[in-house]
Amino acid sequence: MTLSYYFQVLFSLFVIVSILFLVYKFSLRYKKQLFSGELKVLDRVSVEKGMSVVLVSHKDKSFLLGVSHRSVSLIKEISL
């Protein structure tokens, strides 16, 4: 095995690691765009133990939800 063979192997490893690093950075940026935090809890009122009513906003729509330990149900869609 010659010295040029070792340089080829090192260069190939460098290229593979660089590609993996770029894919990792791109995936982080894509994840931030995908989950940009457009869902906001505007208000929450506890009705009784384990049950509450929640007002949630997503983009330009608002939803009144009933939330319990076992389920989440849509009560009404509200335009604010």
Q: Are 47 and 61 members of one domain? A: yes
pLDDT in the model for residue 78: 86
Q: Hey, is 34 helix, strand or coil?
A: helix
Look up the pTM and report it. Answer: 0.53
Q: Are 32 and 55 members of one domain? A: no
Q: Are 4 and 20 members of one domain? A: yes
Q: Are 23 and 54 members of one domain? A: no
Task: Return the structure tokens found at 18.
Answer: 């660089």
Residues 6+ apart with CB under 8 A from 62: 42, 55, 56, 77, 78, 79, 80
Which residues form the domain of 50?
Answer: 39-78
How many domains, in total, are found in the chain? 2
Give the C-alpha separation, 21 to 40, whole Å. 33
Q: Are 30 and 51 members of one domain? A: no
Q: Are 2 and 26 members of one domain? A: yes
Q: What is the pLDDT of residues 32-63, one digit of tens each?
A: 766 667 788 999 999 999 899 999 998 888 99
Q: Are 1 and 32 members of one domain? A: yes
Q: Hey, is 5 helix, strand or coil?
A: helix
Task: Return the structure tokens found at 15.
Answer: 């290229």
